[in-house]
Amino acid sequence: MARAAAARLITRIVDAQSARGYASVVLTGGRNGNGLLAALSASPARDAVDWSRLDLWWGDERFLPDGDPERNYTQAREALLDSVPLDPARVHPMPASDGLYEVDAAAEAYAAELAAAAGPEHYQSAAAAAGVPVPTFDVLMLGVGPDTHVASLFPELPAVRETERTVVGVHGAPKPPPTRV
């Protein structure tokens, strides 16, 4: 499954880069997300991607110190990112817990980064119509946890009912760590 998904991801990235000059992908963590990145890293077709013209974002993150092995960003770096020639300015990890933020401020900072990356063409999106501009993504990868959480939105937690903010701090997640973005 990971090899097939990696092949489709490569195709989508190359198609977007051919059409617009760049591609934008939202990564997910977890076993399947990291398996896909490892398969992409091992794929001979990975060289078809112009890694310098790829924007990478995250759909969620475990609010832990930078470099913590449980962070999605750390795991993505190990599975793929450290082995390809990415433009560091185009890689957008969520803030770590050892930075300048507490979790809700980290969520606000990431929402602001998303909004800043949304160019004028993005103001026609549904989110923008609600006053929350976000970039257009070519691929948004999401996984489903065994408890049915998606993007660190756990059933029955207040964040799952959010309708106005693009990024939220998650408190009290039932799966460790309890604090996430």
With respect to residue 92, please indicate whether it lies within any of the assigned structural domains.
Answer: yes
Ramachandran angles phi, psi of 110, nearest 5°: -70, -40
Residue 116 lies in a domain: yes
Whether residue 82 contacts residue 76, with contact meaning beta carbons closer than 8 Å, is answered with no
Segment 30-41 shows an average pLDDT of: 96
What is the distance between the alpha carbons of residues 124 and 141, in angstroms, rounded to a whole number? 22
Domain that holds residue 67: 2-161
Residue-level pLDDT at 124 = 47
In this structure, what CATH number is given to the domain that contains residue 100?
3.40.50.1360
pLDDT at site 68: 98
Is-cis flag, bond preceding 65, omega within 30?
no
180 within some domain: no
More confident residue, 93 or 129: 93
Q: What percent of the chain has pLDDT above 90?
A: 85
Q: Is residue 176 part of a domain?
A: no
20 lies in some domain: yes
Cβ neighbours of residue 13 closer than 8 Å, sequence gap 6 or more: 23, 25, 49, 54, 138, 139
